[in-house]
Chain A
Amino acid sequence: MSDEYIVLKEISKRFAGGVVALDKVTIDIRMGEVLALLGENGAGKSTLIKILYGVYSADEGSIYINGRRVDVHSPTEAIKYGIVMVSQHPQLIDTLSVVENLALGLRNFNAFTSIRKISSFILEKSREFGVKVDPWEKVWRLTYTQKQLVEILRAMLLKARVILLDEALTYLPLEEKKKFYKFIKEFTAKGGSTVVITHKIPEALDVADRIAVLRRGRLVGIVEGTSARIEDVRRMMFGESAAEITYEKLPASQPGGRVVIETQDLWVTGDFGEDAVRGVDLRVREGEVVGIAGIVGNGQRELTQALMGLRKASRGRILIDGRNVTNRGIHEVREVGVGYIPDSPLALGISIDNSMAENIAALYQRKSALINWSEVYKVASSLIETYRIVIPGADSLIKVLSGGNIMKAVVSKEINYCKKALIAHNPTRALDEVSAAMVRRSIKEKAINNGVAVLLVSEDLDEIYQVSDSIHVMNSGKLYGPFPPDEAERSKVEHLMVI
């Protein structure tokens, strides 16, 4: 027997509505390795490891651990086998404290053990693993990075031998991501295994010992991380569509004279009462794409939310298409014809308990007393087709979609909706390379062809350079720039991001 630890054999899974997620996929996970699972949005990556974690059950196929066939019906059972999953959206209970969350999975304490007693055990362990988080803090007060840290700590507490990272690092700032990868390397060096799901091929090449590629529910192949080339992996992931991937600078637009998005000395308060946005003066003209680069947590979220009327400005003015919309609420902003791709699409971008059509109706037909459904369905099917959203139909609930396809649903309806302006915050973060390239192209086309003023806020510097006509940097709530992209040296911009 080789060092195979887990074997997933001929796994098939079909979802309600007939979406085939997996078709006879066989894959093994070895001791002490980092296995990267790559594939385009909706390829079945998440589904596969959710089956291993007992979140879903496979329609066909079997799971072997150490050569023994096992049934994994629930995460509780998976945890018993030493398998722990960390997902893109932290699976923590916001209203509970860190210790309470961590205590829930611990088998070595019975139901009536006091949380205080468990907390001392957790504290001791977290010191051992070098994780610093206040155990009594309520989870909703933690930053995203801290939440993911808690998830990793949880895996350690549960004595994980296999950690499944379902896009768990996708939303992390670059610096933090590096720390996590270092941690994973140490974990595998001690004999643990890690499965990493990601869209980013360079990242996979960097950390993975082996790379498995899924496409439309089938395993395309497995390659060695050290010998694989980026182009080959791309071709495995996307087939012929790989040619659509480009990071070339898109054609510049010809901005008109009219200023569409304008802020004057804008100050916005953050969640904890701090000044998150400090005196921002910003102007975006019609047909122009203005990019704001910056590391997460420097006031970008508060700025875009204030622009949309979702957060109060404590000082200053916001003008959209010449109208003063300061603190008037989102209704007025939407009225002007502003599209909004939020940083947290699930919270602010779409209602996952409703269908694609209903989500479109809520936005597009908000003023009419009666909904023109035939119009709505027309829009829905055109978006589904144009953006290649993998969805059984316009009637399907958003929550049945894969993470990337939900993002596509958000992005497509907003790009299509905007008439005057588009405020896009990390519009391509959960998307695969082909979809991301398409979205960036659509945004640019909207600016060039329809004269829409676009504010693009992104952590992805390549994206900023590819799409923007002028670049700002946001740091500690202040805005630097604008810089023309041809002249703005990357090193200078990167420096402004971290000073």
Chain B
Amino acid sequence: MSLEQYVANSIIELAPVFATFYLVALGHSLFEKAGLLDLAIDGVFFMGSSIAVRAAVASGSPIVGTVVAAIVTMLLGVALAFLMTYLPISHGAIGLSMMFLGYGIGIIVGYPARLEVGSIAMYAYSEGWAIAIMAISIAIGATVHIILKYTKLGAAIRACGENPHAASSLGVNVLLTRLIAGAVGFAIMGAGSSFFTLAWQKFWDPKSYTLGYGWLAFTVALTSGRHPIVLMPISLVFGGLIFYRVRIGVMYGVEKDVANLVPFIAALAAMLICYATKLKKVLAPPASLGKVYYKEERTV
């Protein structure tokens, strides 16, 4: 195999992995940019990937799978954003509850599809889609970046994340802004999670929820400072580690189970590097991330 071929193959292999991590981390970042703490990520990830399978099997088209996954997770995102903004309840508690709800819904929705068809390979995206999926992901990321950085809506989203009380006083409709961030962010996450089952694994199993890949996407977002562009290389690195972990393991004579740990160890290392060094300031989370925003609270 020539070098060009090897590189081309690698890209095609990695594209769905990249798209999965990138989009899930991107949607999650957008949600958190608005000050909404997203601990539901792993459950949403599993739920989205399962719904995608069910919808793809039912319709026969992976595109329908992706769209339905995006719509359903979007609704969940809107609900989360609403509850976290409108009521004085802990973002952490409601996020974790939603995570488990996501696992549950994922199994209920995904299992019948698996029983029905066994293998989902024929309902998944073909290899020809790999490059398109990657390109679409990058385009979505670039659009999110432009909106966040250069438009009034983007400034409003960042303002809600930094200081929702001040944002409101400046004339931002905090609830509406967060609903938008919740809807768009979770829709992107849903689309990303659909690529996990329909483009990367091409396989669904209730056991897959133990993978914890949602949390890896969480780490990807954290170590990129929730920046849509910085997310790209970091997603690629983490995607590569996951995808090649077995090969890496074989190369260095490491046992499979230990090799499986590599991405998570890398995640820990990345977080340590980010938060023990000066990078901490550059990658600082929104100042009001996870703080209860309740309008009737008397503030100074």
Which of B72-80, B115-123, B161-169 makes up part of the contact surface? B161-169
Q: Confirm or deny: A213 has a beta carbon within 8 angstroms of a beta carbon on chain B.
A: no
Q: Please, what's the 1-or-0 string for A72-97, where 1 marks a CB less than 8 Å from any CB in chain B?
A: 00111001000001011101111110
- B298 contacts A91, C-beta separation under 8 Å: no
| Residue total for B at the interface (Cβ-Cβ under 8 A) | 27
State how many angstroms separate the Cβ of A46 from the closest Cβ of chain B. 8
Q: Confirm or deny: B172 has a beta carbon within 8 angstroms of a beta carbon on chain A.
A: yes
**Residues of A contacting B168 in the complex (Cβ-Cβ under 8 angstroms):** 55, 74-76
Q: Confirm or deny: A403 has a beta carbon within 8 angstroms of a beta carbon on chain B.
A: yes
**Residues of B contacting A87 in the complex (Cβ-Cβ under 8 angstroms):** 169
- B300 contacts A406, C-beta separation under 8 Å: yes
**Residues of B contacting A403 in the complex (Cβ-Cβ under 8 angstroms):** 300
- B166 contacts A93, C-beta separation under 8 Å: yes
**Residues of A contacting B295 in the complex (Cβ-Cβ under 8 angstroms):** 55, 74
**Residues of B contacting A16 in the complex (Cβ-Cβ under 8 angstroms):** 298
State how many angstroms separate the Cβ of B91 from the closest Cβ of chain A. 15
Interface of A is mostly: loop
**Residues of A contacting B252 in the complex (Cβ-Cβ under 8 angstroms):** none
Q: Please, what's the 1-or-0 string for A405-424, where 1 marks a CB less than 8 Å from any CB in chain B?
A: 01000000000000000000
- A76 contacts B171, C-beta separation under 8 Å: yes
- B151 contacts A93, C-beta separation under 8 Å: no
- A96 contacts B151, C-beta separation under 8 Å: no
**Residues of A contacting B163 in the complex (Cβ-Cβ under 8 angstroms):** 91, 93-94
Considering only CB atoms, which chain A residue lies closest to B169 in the complex?
A: A91
> What is the total of A-B residue contacts with beta carbons within 8 Å?
107
Q: Within the complex, which residue of A55, A91, A115, A352 is in contact with B152, where a contact is CB–CB below 8 Å?
A: A115
Q: Within the complex, which residue of B151, B171, B296 is in contact with A57, where a contact is CB–CB below 8 Å?
A: B296
- A105 contacts B300, C-beta separation under 8 Å: no
Q: Confirm or deny: A112 has a beta carbon within 8 angstroms of a beta carbon on chain B.
A: yes
Q: Within the complex, which residue of B153, B158, B170, B296 is in contact with A105, where a contact is CB–CB below 8 Å?
A: B170
- A100 contacts B155, C-beta separation under 8 Å: yes
Report if A91-B170 is in contact (Cβ < 8 Å); known contacts: A57-B296, A346-B300, A352-B300: yes
Report if A110-B152 is in contact (Cβ < 8 Å); known contacts: A92-B170, A154-B170, A399-B300: yes
Q: Confirm or deny: B273 has a beta carbon within 8 angstroms of a beta carbon on chain A.
A: no
Q: Confirm or deny: B159 has a beta carbon within 8 angstroms of a beta carbon on chain A.
A: yes
| Complexed CA–CA distance, A131 and B298 (Å) | 32
Q: Confirm or deny: A116 has a beta carbon within 8 angstroms of a beta carbon on chain B.
A: yes
State how many angstroms separate the Cβ of B282 from the closest Cβ of chain A. 12
Q: Confirm or deny: B297 has a beta carbon within 8 angstroms of a beta carbon on chain A.
A: yes
- A400 contacts B298, C-beta separation under 8 Å: yes
| Complexed CA–CA distance, A53 and B162 (Å) | 21
Considering only CB atoms, which chain B residue lies closest to A110 in the complex?
A: B152
Report if A95-B156 is in contact (Cβ < 8 Å); known contacts: A85-B169, A114-B150: no
Chain B residues numbered 155-212 whose CB sits less than 8 Å from any CB in chain A: 155-156, 158-159, 162-163, 165-173
- A75 contacts B150, C-beta separation under 8 Å: no
- A96 contacts B159, C-beta separation under 8 Å: yes
Known contacts A85-B169, A87-B169, A96-B155; 8 further A-B pairs (Cβ under 8 A):
A55-B295, A74-B173, A74-B295, A91-B170, A93-B162, A94-B287, A104-B156, A115-B150
Q: Which 4 A-B pairs have the closest CB atoms?
A: A105-B171, A111-B153, A100-B155, A91-B169
Residues on A lying within 8 angstroms of B by beta carbon are 15-16, 47, 53, 55-57, 74-76, 79, 85, 87-89, 91-96, 100-101, 103-107, 109-116, 118, 154, 158, 346, 352, 399-403, 406
Residues on B lying within 8 angstroms of A by beta carbon are 147, 150-153, 155-156, 158-159, 162-163, 165-173, 287, 295-300
